[in-house]
Amino acid sequence: MKPVLLFCLVLTATIGYSQNYLGEIQVPKVSKDGFYRISITPKIAGFLSTDFTNLRVVDKAGKEIPYLVREEIPVRHNKKFQEYELEKHKTRTTTELVLKNPERKAINNIYLKIRNADVIKEAKLLGSDDRKDWFAIKEKFNLYPIDGGNGTFEMKVLDFPMSNYLFYSLRIADSLTAPINILNAGYYEANIENGQYEEVPGKVKWINDTKKKSSSIKFSFDTIQIVDRVELKLKGEQKYFLRKAALEETRERKLKKGKTEKYQVAIAGFEVSSTLPTQLDIARSRLKDFQIVIDNEDNPPLELVSLKTFQLNRYVIAWLSSHDDYLLKIGNEKLPAPSYDLHFFSDSIPKQIDGLMVGDITVYEKPMAPSGTSFFNSKNFIWAAILIVALLLGYMAMKLVKDMGKSTSK
């Protein structure tokens, strides 16, 4: 049985080794060594699996180059410290800070950046629109000891009732102790940053069905695409409208006698409104065809203004040498995800690195194996090997039966 086992192992290794690539993209030549950000455009993404596991970066010798896949964050919430215009006035008994709120924003807190001090101070807060007449906002409260731990200062939050004065006056009593050192004052402004997307064009068809009291928007791509966002604009005969809608994916299933049929699967339900734009986030949806169905009920059909699909910007991060040439290789969807040491050091990669834009993908006319001779990777060889294994197994089985018959006759 040993020859059979050995041949089976060789056959398994040969079949596994003949992992095919479907196509390649040339990476632009770089001028200096370093990390680069290679854009994954919609033209490339259409050939990739949902998790981008079938992508490889190789040099001119065919050696794999470790890489990371990064994508834009759809929505990023940031807080930025904004300083107020600050004036300090000191007397023997008081330290006064005058803050200006030029946009007259409604605020209910002020952040004070104060040098560390082990002291309790009594204070009061006043507000004014002209710096002549001052009105009480918060009377007789304490500023407790300031300790920034290992740092030399601490951010102290001063809370008070909501107001929108142009000027604020913080008056701190210094009659019994030395003044505290207030470096500046301000507030944290919350900012929302949207990730960057690239539009994925497709074909649109609008259909009104009076019997079903519905409208359908059919959208199709030339090839399967990864879609992260759908933006829809509609208008109607009436000024206001609010209707239920659903985004449905077109799928295909096999029937008897080799026939196939297409059917719809709901991905998301939502509403279309005259008061709000319709923006639907469907992260990493792989679609070839989809439709949006709008329930009109007894209302007149709406009119389509535009339907756009977008893909979130994604990148391959890799260290490239100026002395080498590189390709992005696309494998089949069953290609397992690579495992590189680089992901342990992702925090060490600079945030700002140069970007590279690649061109179109070159699709191989026939699947090409990354290496190995054409004979051992051919289908004829594999089928011949399987036949030989079957014959060997049959021979060994017959031999075993004869040996058992001989032992029984004895």
Distance CA 188, CA 295 (A): 44
Distance CA 72, CA 75 (A): 9
pLDDT the model gives residue 8: 47
What one-character-per-residue DSSP string does 300-366 give? PP-EEEEEEEEEE-EEEEEEE-TTS-EEEEEE-TTPPPP--GGGGGGGGS-SS--EE-----EEEEE
pLDDT the model gives residue 127: 95
More confident site: 91 or 146 = 91
Task: Give the mean pLDDT of 332-340.
Answer: 88
Distance CA 169, CA 137 (A): 10
Distance CA 101, CA 205 (A): 53
Distance CA 56, CA 338 (A): 8
pLDDT the model gives residue 9: 46
Distance CA 389, CA 7 (A): 7
Share of the chain above pLDDT 70, in %: 87
pLDDT in tens, 160-175: 999 999 999 999 998 8
**pLDDT at 17 > cutoff 60:** no
Burial classification of residue 286, based on how many CB atoms lie within 10 Å of its CB (0-12 exposed, 13-18 middle, 19 or more buried): middle
pLDDT the model gives residue 18: 40
Where is 65: in which H helix or E strand? none
Task: Give the mean pLDDT of 378-384.
Answer: 65
pLDDT the model gives residue 366: 60
Place of tokens 């505290």: 180
- DSSP conformation class of 383: H
**pLDDT at 5 > cutoff 60:** no
pLDDT the model gives residue 73: 81
Topology of the domain covering 200-312: Jelly Rolls (2.60.120)
pLDDT in tens, 192-226: 777 889 999 999 999 999 999 999 999 999 888 99
Distance CA 290, CA 293 (A): 10
- Ordered by start, the domain boundaries in the chain are 1-18+376-410, 19-72+314-364+371-375, 79-193, 200-312
What CATH number does domain 79-193 carry, 3.30.565.10, 2.60.120.260, 3.40.47.10, 1.10.10.10? Answer: 2.60.120.260
**pLDDT at 83 > cutoff 90:** no
Distance CA 291, CA 249 (A): 7
List of residues 6+ apart from 187 with CB closer than 8 A: 81, 82, 84, 107, 109, 110, 111
Distance CA 243, CA 132 (A): 55
pLDDT the model gives residue 323: 94
Task: Give the mean pLDDT of 51-55.
Answer: 88
pLDDT in tens, 238-273: 889 999 999 999 888 888 888 888 888 898 999 999
pLDDT the model gives residue 381: 63
Q: What is the mean pLDDT of the chain?
A: 84
Distance CA 224, CA 45 (A): 9
List of residues 6+ apart from 100 with CB closer than 8 A: 84, 85, 166, 167
Task: Give the mean pLDDT of 113-137.
Answer: 91
pLDDT the model gives residue 51: 83
- Yes or no: say if 326 and 316 are a contact pair by the CB < 8 Å rule: no
> Which of 77, 78, 40 lies closest to 312 in space, CA to CA?
40
**pLDDT at 333 > cutoff 90:** no
Task: Give the mean pLDDT of 62-85.
Answer: 85
List beta partners, residue 293: 216, 246
Cα angle for residues 115, 121, 126 (degrees, 5° grid): 100
More confident site: 38 or 186 = 38
- Yes or no: say if 362 and 23 are a contact pair by the CB < 8 Å rule: yes
pLDDT the model gives residue 212: 92
pLDDT the model gives residue 372: 45
List beta partners, residue 80: 189
pLDDT band at 29 (very low <50, low <70, confident <90, very high): very high
pLDDT the model gives residue 12: 46
Do 79-193 and 200-312 have matching folds?
Answer: yes
pLDDT the model gives residue 145: 72
Task: Give the mean pLDDT of 139-143.
Answer: 88
pLDDT the model gives residue 65: 95
| Six-digit token string for 227 | 């879609």
> Which of 273, 297, 222 lies closest to 46 in space, CA to CA?
222
pLDDT in tens, 7-16: 444 444 444 4
- DSSP conformation class of 73: -
pLDDT the model gives residue 395: 73
pLDDT the model gives residue 216: 94
